[in-house]
Amino acid sequence: MQPELQPNPAGYRVGTREITLDQQRVLRNTYLLLALTMVPTVIGAFVGISTGGIIMQYPIISFFVLLGAVIGLQYAIVANRNSSLGVVLLLGMTFLLGWWLGPLLAAALTLKNGPQLVGIAAAGTGAILFVMAGIATTTRKDFSFMGKFLFVGMIVLLLALIANMFLQIPALALTVSALVVVVFSLFLLHDVSRIVNGGETNYIMATTGVYLSLFNIFASLLQLLMALAGERD
């Protein structure tokens, strides 16, 4: 007979695994900071809608400049992950990515059903987060083993995206967008799993990973919806 599990003042148990108070705190702070990142993202998006002409005029150059800036900010966030400056840098990164998202939103809003497509993409992104976070927190399975495979997949998709900037193949663009949704959905599962299993103890780093996954999922879902269901006047 299995011994009855006793309450632990340091946390509580699900099945045979313990969720400590520290893990609960990291998860809670991650969700709170994630909600806060939506503010500069929305502000950046509004700025991008009205000033994103330079991105549309020089898309390839803008992409590499943005990629370099985001990578640089990520290194800076890692270096300052234990201070309030890390939060400021993260919010700055989300503003920059919001600005980059602006031209895509502007293009979507030119469609007859553009606002509906934006809403569906946002709802779909939220649903994916809910499902993946639910799987990670209820099953308590450690999905950290997926990290290396997902990183390789991300690099392959990045190279395919860069290649298609020159090739301009619509079918390849749709394929890349669909795979981005899949890969970054699994990244969400991986990242939340690391939090609830104690693999990630810094909420700033946790929020950075979850935010980037949500950003890529939303952008790719919107591109898919625009291509497959967009209604032009």
Using an 8 Å Cβ cutoff, are 181 and 224 in contact? yes
The pLDDT value given to residue 231: 85
Q: pTM of the full predicted structure?
A: 0.89
Six-digit token string for 63: 């992409």
Dihedral of the CA atoms 39, 68, 109, 161 (nearest 10)? -130
Six-digit token string for 49: 């809608």
For the stretch 76-118, pLDDT in tens is 999 999 999 999 999 999 999 999 999 999 999 999 999 999 9
pLDDT at 202 exceeding the cut of 80: yes
The percentage of residues in the chain with a pLDDT greater than 90, rounded to a whole number, is 73
pLDDT at 210 exceeding the cut of 90: yes
pLDDT at 144 exceeding the cut of 90: no
Which residues partner with 20 through β-bridges?
11
pLDDT at 57 exceeding the cut of 80: yes
Q: Is 202 exposed, middle or buried (0-12, 13-18, 19+ CB in 10 A)?
A: middle
